[in-house]
Amino acid sequence: MRTRAAARRPTPLQWVRYALGGGLPRELSPWVLADTTGPGWVRRHLTRAVVQLLPVLVLCVTVVPVPLVYRLSAAAGGLLMGLVFSLAFMVETTEHRVVKAGYPPGTAARLRDERSERERLERRSPYRQGGAGSFD
C-alpha cells in the first residue's frame, strides 16, 4: 500500500525543472527516492537525459546553416554520445539527486542493491508462486 507522501508526484513544470537538474520541494523527497531506485529507474534516468539534451538538439536541427541531412546526423550523433555519457555516470547522477532530496549519500545505491538481492532470492526460492517446485 502506498503512503500519501509517496503517492504525491511533481507537477509537469516541477518535473521538467527536476529533469534539468533542479531540486524539488522537500515533501516530494519520497517521490525522488522512488524515482531513482524503483523498477524502471534506468529508463527514467535516460528520459531525463533526453530532456536535458533536447534544447541543444533542437538548436542543432533548426539553427545551424547546413543541409538538413547533416543537421539530423549531427543531432543523432549528439543524442547518442549524450546518452552514452549519461549511462556512464548514471549511478552518480541519481545518487546526487537523492542527496539533494535530503537523503544520506549512498541511499539510492543501497536501496537498489537491496531490491536486486530480494528479487534474486525470490527467483531462486522453491516456494515462489507458480514457479518450479510450487505446491499449488
Distance, in Å, from the CA atom of 19 to the CA atom of 52, rounded to the nearest integer, reads 7
Q: Is 90 in contact with 45 (CB distance < 8 Å)?
A: yes
Q: Average pLDDT, stretch 100-123?
A: 92
Q: pTM above the 0.75 mark?
A: yes
Non-local (6+) Cβ contacts of 106 within 8 A are 95
Q: Residue 120: its pLDDT value, please?
A: 87
User: What tens digit of pLDDT does each residue of 42-92 get?
Assistant: 999 999 999 999 999 999 999 999 999 999 999 999 999 999 999 999 999
pLDDT band at 25 (very low <50, low <70, confident <90, very high): very high
Q: Is 126 in contact with 133 (CB distance < 8 Å)?
A: yes
Q: Residue 5: its pLDDT value, please?
A: 45
The backbone region for 32, taken as left when phi is positive above 0, alpha when psi lies in -120 to 50, beta otherwise, is alpha
Range in 3-12, 30-39, 61-70, 108-117 with the lowest mean pLDDT: 3-12
Q: Look up residue 38 and give its amino acid.
A: G
Q: Residue 4: its pLDDT value, please?
A: 47
pLDDT band at 119 (very low <50, low <70, confident <90, very high): confident
